[in-house]
């Protein structure tokens, strides 16, 4: 009998050849898997797609699978575009494998260092009916911080692990590829992308709803296909911010924070409670 989990999590895992610290990457992945395994409902499956099998204290099991691939890291002048291309190739392979094994209700891309709420899978069990859900409400956690965390109502602006897609729509295609994935846009499209971060970009390349990383434009993508993207009703995600993050707020961007942004960060800061640690298995 074909299994029908409520959600399948697809986790791309970069090769140790491009990881600055392989042991740290494995530790973070282990923490991400621990948060999923902490789900109140066990009606989920996970596929981790990578080049080399990660070194984990608790390995893979009936719900968490590793998909090995030998893809070469993309050759691209833009290092971030190459990283995203590698990530999307792994997600694509994981999705193909997932469809061959199960009939999940929803699919969610998840970076290999984030944390999900223990309530997320159960909520999809009981309430998931819409074409897709955008996780806007969540937390930004500076990796290793023991006492403080930031709450945000706009986690989709900074984190790609924010979209839950009903699986019958995952392979629907449209003009969704932008410079974020290395697409070469003309002057009009490039200028538009700089000015408008939420609409579809003129001249974009064609790809599926699942296989792009332009997370601020997800609502426009759903609208293009004739569907509404709904907001997930509670804090569903903790986004780890660190130098080892897949898409952390690091480097030059950290130095461009304005005084207003710093004051906003202070206003959103909260204490890490025992309840929060338990819900997300925050390390």
Q: In this model, does residue 27 exceed pLDDT 90?
A: yes
DSSP state string for the chain: --B--SEEEEEEE--TTT-S-HHHHHHHHHHHHHHHHT-SS--EEEEEEESS----SS---SSEEEEE--PPPP--SSHHHHHHHHHHHHHHHHHHHHHHHB--SEEEE--TT-EE-TTHHHHHHHH--SSEEE---EEEEETT-SSEEEEES-GGGT-STTEEEETTTTT-EEEEE-GGGT----HHHHHHHHH-SSSPPTTPEEEESSS---GGGHHHHHHHTT-PPEEPSS--EEEEESTTSSS-S-THHHHT--HHHHHHHHHTEEE--HHHHHHHT--
Q: In this model, does residue 2 exceed pLDDT 70?
A: no
Output the pLDDT for position 76.
64
Output the pLDDT for position 186.
95
CB count, 10 Å around CB of 63? 16
When pLDDT is averaged across residues 67-72 and rounded to a whole number, the result is: 81
When pLDDT is averaged across residues 130-139 and rounded to a whole number, the result is: 98
**Running DSSP on this structure, what letter comes out for residue 263?**
H
When pLDDT is averaged across residues 194-214 and rounded to a whole number, the result is: 96
Between the CA of residue 85 and those of 127, 160, 176, 180, 198, what are the distances in Å? 33, 14, 14, 10, 21
Output the pLDDT for position 58.
82
Output the pLDDT for position 245.
45
When pLDDT is averaged across residues 109-114 and rounded to a whole number, the result is: 97
Q: How confident is the model at residue 79 (pLDDT cuts 50, 70, 90)?
A: confident
Where would I find the beta strands (DSSP E) of 73-126?
A: 106-109, 115-116
Tens-place pLDDT, residues 55-65: 998 888 889 99
Q: In this model, does residue 158 exceed pLDDT 70?
A: yes
- For the chain, the domains span 7-172+217-280
Least reliable range by pLDDT among 2-6, 46-50, 278-282:
2-6
When pLDDT is averaged across residues 96-120 and rounded to a whole number, the result is: 97
CATH topology of domain 7-172+217-280: Spore Coat Polysaccharide Biosynthesis Protein SpsA; Chain A (3.90.550)
Q: How confident is the model at residue 33 (pLDDT cuts 50, 70, 90)?
A: very high
* Cβ neighbours of residue 58 closer than 8 Å, sequence gap 6 or more: 30, 33, 34
When pLDDT is averaged across residues 47-70 and rounded to a whole number, the result is: 91
Mean pLDDT over all residues of the chain?
A: 90
Output the pLDDT for position 109.
98
Least reliable range by pLDDT among 66-75, 105-114, 238-247:
238-247
Length of the chain measured in residues: 283
Percentage of the residues of the chain whose pLDDT score is greater than 70: 91
Output the pLDDT for position 253.
39
When pLDDT is averaged across residues 18-40 and rounded to a whole number, the result is: 95
Single pTM value for the model: 0.91
When pLDDT is averaged across residues 149-175 and rounded to a whole number, the result is: 96
Tens-place pLDDT, residues 209-259: 999 999 999 999 999 999 999 999 999 999 999 754 433 333 333 445 567
* Bridge partners of residue 165, in order along the sequence: 107, 132
């Amino acid at each position: 009998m074909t299994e029908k989990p409520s959600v399948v999590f697809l986790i791309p895992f970069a090769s140790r050849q491009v990881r600055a610290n392989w042991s740290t990457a494995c530790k973070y992945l282990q923490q991400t898997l621990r948060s999923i395994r902490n789900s109140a409902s066990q009606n989920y499956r996970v596929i981790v797609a990578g080049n080399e099998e990660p070194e984990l204290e608790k390995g893979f099991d009936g719900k968490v699978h590793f998909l090995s691939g030998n893809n070469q890291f993309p050759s691209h002048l833009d290092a971030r575009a190459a990283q995203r291309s590698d990530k999307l190739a792994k997600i694509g392979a994981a999705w193909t494998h997932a469809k061959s094994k199960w009939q999940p209700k929803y699919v969610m891309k998840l970076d290999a260092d984030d944390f999900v709420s223990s309530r997320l899978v159960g909520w999809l069990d009981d309430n998931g009916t819409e074409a897709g859900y955008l996780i806007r409400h969540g937390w930004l956690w500076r990796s290793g911080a023991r006492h403080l965390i930031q709450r945000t109502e706009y986690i989709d602006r900074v984190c790609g692990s924010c979209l839950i897609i009903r699986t019958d729509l995952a392979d629907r295609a449209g003009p969704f590829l932008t410079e974020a994935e290395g697409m070469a846009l003309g002057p009009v499209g490039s200028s538009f992308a700089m000015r408008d971060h939420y609409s579809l970009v003129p001249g974009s390349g064609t790809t599926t709803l699942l296989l792009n990383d332009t997370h601020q434009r997800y609502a426009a993508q759903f609208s293009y296909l004739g569907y509404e993207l709904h907001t997930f009703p509670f804090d569903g995600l903790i986004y780890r911010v660190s130098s080892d993050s897949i898409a952390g707020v690091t480097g030059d961007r950290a130095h461009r924070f304005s005084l207003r942004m710093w004051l906003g960060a202070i206003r959103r800061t909260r204490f890490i409670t025992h309840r929060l640690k338990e819900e997300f298995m925050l390390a």
